[in-house]
Amino acid sequence: MEAALADVGITPIVIASPDAAEGAPPLTHGSCFVVKVHGDYLDARIKNTTEELSEYDPRINSILDRIFDEFGLIICGWSGSWDDALRAALERASTRRFGTFWVRRGNLAPEAEALVTLRGMTVIDATDADSFFSELREKVLAAEATHAPHPLSGPMAVATLKRYLQDPNRIIDLTDLVNREVERSRVQLLQGSFTVGVPYGGDELRRRVAEYEAISQVPLSLLVTLSRWGNAAHVDLIVRSIQRLSDRPPMEEGQFWPVWRELQKYPAAVLLYGVGIAALVSHRYELLARILTSVSVRDRLGNEARPAALELAMAAVFEGDTAQDLRPGENKWKTPESDHVHQVLREPLRDLIPGNDEYEIAFDRFEVFLSLVYADLYGGWGPVGRFAWKSGRLSAQPSGLSSFLEEVESEGDKWGPFVSGLFGASKERFQAAAEVITEAARLVARR
């Protein structure tokens, strides 16, 4: 191990005896440590026999306790059968702050299985250590290339936003926070590997979608929170944020693949869906109307600008049947774009909508509403989502649509979307859009 590290220019701090453990620098102050818990072969004190392996010097135990408490762990090449003292060190580690992963080839020994159960470890099957660590390295580099934020970035940003929301005097801090994260994501989108000139492929589609989702994670969390807990003063900020991420870079010179050009709208579309669901659940119809009609998105050539309801509906983001490639090898989906974003938004919306059944209803209601607005603006047609086939009934209206029709009948001109200017505040226009969507849903259900 020491020689391998030296080959790549790393000089580790070696701890090979209780004395070295006592005099070692703090673990967080060194870039690389090699801890020889059984000693060094050049030292007569090296542990070999079962009796010798049954206990460690307290100074070795102390450093092991710190490692298992303060760091994650990958176990590879250890049977777990003979080292009683090492097993004991893992057993007495009381914290579970970081993950432990046991890489195995074949079945684990009973002693190892017991440790896995006790510590809640993740077991990974591998052919050998070389292939496992080589593959791990490639995945780490790939994750780094997606510009994925640290897992704590989203929750920390949301916690900061909530503190600002509690203090009306911190409106400037709140605005700066949101603008900073939106701008950071926009820079990553412009600098990322999203050229529109490369040929289409399913692997490339999945890579781009995953990278887009990683880049938009923090703005999505912030805007969803602001849509739920904010007020009318924050509407402009939310609208500007979606508008900012929907402004695509200019077209590249030469030939382009329409599928990649349209997919550039995906980050803004995810934000639109997340904010839209939060706004609808919170009955914030002014916000809902603004994001669907005031945000404008230019067509793929950068000419005509159309409302976000037309350009950021998922059916307008994925060209043709390309969304089927999001899950290769599975049966063909009826509404693949809708099914995918339904999964993507579950965790970002969990704090707002804890129950899975509640989330299903909220997601379907938003997609129905988006389809209605699309049909009203476009005329004669509208895309539908997973709500179209879930009931399995061809003659009935989708449940989400039925609930909106009941609201219109009950509230009339005072219905929130009408008051916000949607559907021209006209019951007739709304009903015409409802008929279009009902028929479109039946066509999807027949597939």
Please write the tens of the pLDDT for every residue from 309-342.
999 999 999 988 899 999 877 667 788 999 999 9
Has residue 230 been placed in a domain? yes
Domain shared by 181 and 68, yes or no: no
Domain shared by 301 and 405, yes or no: yes
Has residue 173 been placed in a domain? yes
Domain shared by 75 and 166, yes or no: no
Q: Which residue has the tokens 């060209």?
A: 319
Domain shared by 129 and 156, yes or no: no
Q: From 350, 337, 158, 187, select the one nearest 262 (Cα to Cα).
A: 337
Number of domains into which the chain is organized = 2
Domain shared by 101 and 183, yes or no: no
Q: Domain ends where: 106, 140, 174? A: 140
**Tokens standing for residue 378:** 């476009």
Q: How far apart are CA 89 and CA 69, in angstroms?
A: 11
**Tokens standing for residue 82:** 């003979």
3-state secondary structure of 125: strand
Asked if residues 216 and 185 have their Cβ atoms less than 8 Å apart, the reply is: yes
Has residue 189 been placed in a domain? yes
Q: How far apart are CA 136 and CA 12, in angstroms?
A: 21
Q: How far apart are CA 276 and CA 270, in angstroms?
A: 10
Q: What is the value of pTM for the model shown?
A: 0.69
Has residue 145 been placed in a domain? no
Has residue 186 been placed in a domain? yes
Dihedral in degrees, nearest 10, Cα atoms 133, 134, 135, 138 = 120
Q: How far apart are CA 179 and CA 67, in angstroms?
A: 39
Sign for the pseudo-dihedral over CA of 386, 389, 390, 395 = positive
Domain shared by 97 and 217, yes or no: no
Domain shared by 80 and 183, yes or no: no
Domain shared by 130 and 157, yes or no: no
Domain shared by 224 and 357, yes or no: yes
Domain shared by 155 and 136, yes or no: no
Has residue 146 been placed in a domain? no
Pure H helices in 71-216: 84-92, 110-119, 129-145, 153-165, 171-191, 202-215
Has residue 399 been placed in a domain? yes
Q: What angle (nearest 5°) sits at the alpha carbon of residue 85, between those of residues 81 and 87?
A: 50
Q: How far apart are CA 316 and CA 262, in angstroms?
A: 7
* Beta-carbon count within 10 A of 361 CB: 17
Q: What is the pLDDT along the chain (447 residues), one digit of tens a residue?
A: 888 998 888 999 999 999 999 888 888 888 899 999 999 888 888 988 888 888 999 999 999 998 988 888 999 999 999 889 999 999 998 777 788 999 999 899 999 999 999 988 899 988 889 888 988 887 777 666 555 665 557 888 899 999 999 998 999 999 999 999 999 999 999 887 788 888 999 999 999 999 999 999 999 999 999 999 999 999 999 999 999 999 987 776 777 889 999 999 999 999 999 999 999 999 999 999 999 999 999 888 878 899 999 999 999 999 888 999 998 776 677 889 999 999 999 999 999 999 999 999 999 999 999 999 999 999 888 888 888 877 555 445 667 788 899 999 999 999 999 999 999 999 999 999 999 998 888 887 676
Counting Cα atoms < 13 Å in the Cβ hemisphere of 212 gives: 23
Domain shared by 133 and 217, yes or no: no
DSSP state letter for 34? E
Q: Domain ends where: 85, 117, 140? A: 140
Please write the tens of the pLDDT for every residue from 52-109.
888 999 999 999 998 988 888 999 999 999 889 999 999 998 777 788 999 999 899 9
Q: From 74, 219, 220, select the one nearest 140 (Cα to Cα).
A: 74
Phi and psi angles of residue 175, each rounded to the nearest 5 degrees, phi first: -65, -45
- H/E stretch holding 100 reads strand 100-104
Q: Domain ends where: 140, 164, 188? A: 140
Domain shared by 52 and 119, yes or no: yes
Q: How far apart are CA 273 and CA 345, in angstroms?
A: 8
Tell me which residue range forms the domain holding 340.
151-445
Has residue 24 been placed in a domain? yes
